[in-house]
Amino acid sequence: MNTNYKERKTISGKDKEAFDEFLAGKERWNAYVEKHGDDTTVDFSGVDFSKHRKGKGEFNFSGYLFPKKGNVNFKGVKFGDGNVNFTSANFGQGVSFMEAKFGKGNVNFSSAQLGTHLGEFKSTIFGEGEVNFNSATFGAGDTDFCDAQFGEGNVDFCNVNFGDGNVYFFKAKFLGKGSVNFFNAKFLGNERVNFFKAKFLGKGSVSFNALSIRPVGSQYIPHMNGISQNLQNAACSNISGCMTSFFIHEINLNDR
């Protein structure tokens, strides 16, 4: 009996065929997605990937494609210990990793397309390895890292394009020994960029060097005396109609 995949509205992690295809590699997964409609939802929420990891080997989802007009849901997933690689993945309309938990290993979203209308990492725990979003692109909707927790390794948001929506790092925690780097990050279309009560409590340097923003109205970037912060060379230009406010006050940092 032939399956009409175009009629399916959801690719579910609870479906054995879909889950097996997801773990089978880029070619198999992308071909499987191609069989479905562009507006298909991908729902792997609550899946415990750690049960399917071979030792501490890498989960390699590099180059994975998702339905162009569908939403992708990884809410509450558990990846366990080991690397997780979503390099150059394209998450379609929107993606949520809300409350996802990564373990002891590196997490890589470099050059990923993180949703046309939503990129959600609220309350995500990134574990103890390095976290890499270098050159990732967010879309027209909100980008949410509220209450996200970054662990032991370096955190790289260099060259990220945060798109056109609001950007929230409200109460995000950077706890590791490595550096936190937003070098050349672009906040060029955002109405609100919020680092309110973010905590940089690790031992590494924190840099917003060459940050690009377009504020009209309030821009509040306080002097951070004695802290290895770098906000010089921020590119700021008033653009008519852009109602940006950049909030990073009440940041909590350990003395270096």
pTM: 0.85
Q: Is 170 exposed, middle or buried (0-12, 13-18, 19+ CB in 10 A)?
A: middle
What was the pLDDT predicted at 125? 97
Q: What is the dihedral of CA 166, 231, 212, 249, to 10 degrees?
A: 20
* pLDDT tens across the length of the chain (256 residues): 578 888 889 999 999 999 999 999 999 999 999 999 999 999 999 999 999 988 778 999 999 999 999 999 999 999 999 999 999 999 999 999 999 999 999 999 999 999 888 899 999 999 889 999 999 999 988 999 999 999 889 999 999 999 888 899 999 999 888 889 999 999 877 678 888 888 888 788 888 887 777 644 434 343 332 233 333 443 333 222 233 444 554 555 554 3
**Exposure class string for 118-144: b at 16+ Cβ within 10 A, else e:** bbbbbbbbbbbbbbbbbbbbbbebbbb
Contact status, residue 177 vs residue 229, Cβ threshold 8 Å: no
Give SS3 for 34. Answer: helix
In 3D space, the residue among 29, 39, 43 whose CA is nearest the CA of residue 68 turns out to be 39
What pLDDT is attached to residue 236? 33
CA–CA separation, 14 and 123 (whole Å)? 23
